[in-house]
Structure 1
């Protein structure tokens, strides 16, 4: 109608599935944290990047620390899924040294594919966020400890304390990746996989010969034949 003032255009509200909205907020948070740092960034920065109202953030996350912990858990979930696929099925005739090598290969390459998140976590996260990340790490460590115990029962790997052995490997490799990712924008994945695998097999000495179980370069030389002691641990003869 003539003479009627134009009405202000309303912003169209886009309805999305909760999981899609959550993923958008996580992606926006990672971008924001990487650009200005965790401490400097605000919830408003994240929601502006995601194109949603500030209140929407709190429908999914409690705080910036919470979203950072969720980013790390999502990252580890990718590894847990692939590790679960590798570990599925019966243990009969399973080549545990080869499987351990495959798990380490995947762990290293998955970390390098998510290098930006590593930089955010270890270079700008606070103590609370790091504690949330530590809790997520435990889920992976428990999975790996279970695999190593199965390998020890089969006589293919050896460790007096599987839990501490796996923690040494996991945190050692994670620390190496943190160091390399922090100072090298194009790290050599094959070199890192080789170093991680060598370290792991020095900690978890394969208990049978390479000829019998395909652990090339990590066979019985220097380790002797394995037997099982009264306490259930694999013992080295010779």
Structure 2
């Protein structure tokens, strides 16, 4: 039975107009790229409520990528959209743009970015298991914007995941690539997570967006002490 990847509601319980799909990652990340980069984009079942909830904040991560663009031609449209959005709202511009002695810097909501990383983690899990992640897992993000200790732990996870071989992709690896792993208690190490893996206590995924941002998301059951 298909369920919403996020809230787990059975799709059969919804009116047809309230059934949709979620792109992992959002279509906003593909703007400006050649058409062949958009082939084989991954999607998961979603209710319209969850889909629209995340649609309101998907642009936050896209804007970070656009602002960080260092002249890469395929990202020029992302940059244009990011700058246009910032300049169109004075309040947002005042909140996010900071003029300093050595130039201009921008800040973005870590909380919103974390929500998006968690959303994509749930999508990756669904793509692997063909079912939504159980709500008994607690999700935590290790990415830019967090304290140094969390960043160091995130890099440790990333190094272990890199040892597992090729990453999966959605559309094109230059836009979104990912690897999902779990902690194998018998082997005492991270192992690639596959469809036949049952009920792991601890999952970790690395995700890279547009060759620019890397995020690590951990999902742990209550039996595992919180990692901070």
**Which structure would you say has the larger Rg?**
1
TM range (shorter): under 0.3
More helix by share: 1
More strand by share: 2
- TM-score, structure 2 as length reference: 0.26
- TM-score, structure 1 as length reference: 0.26
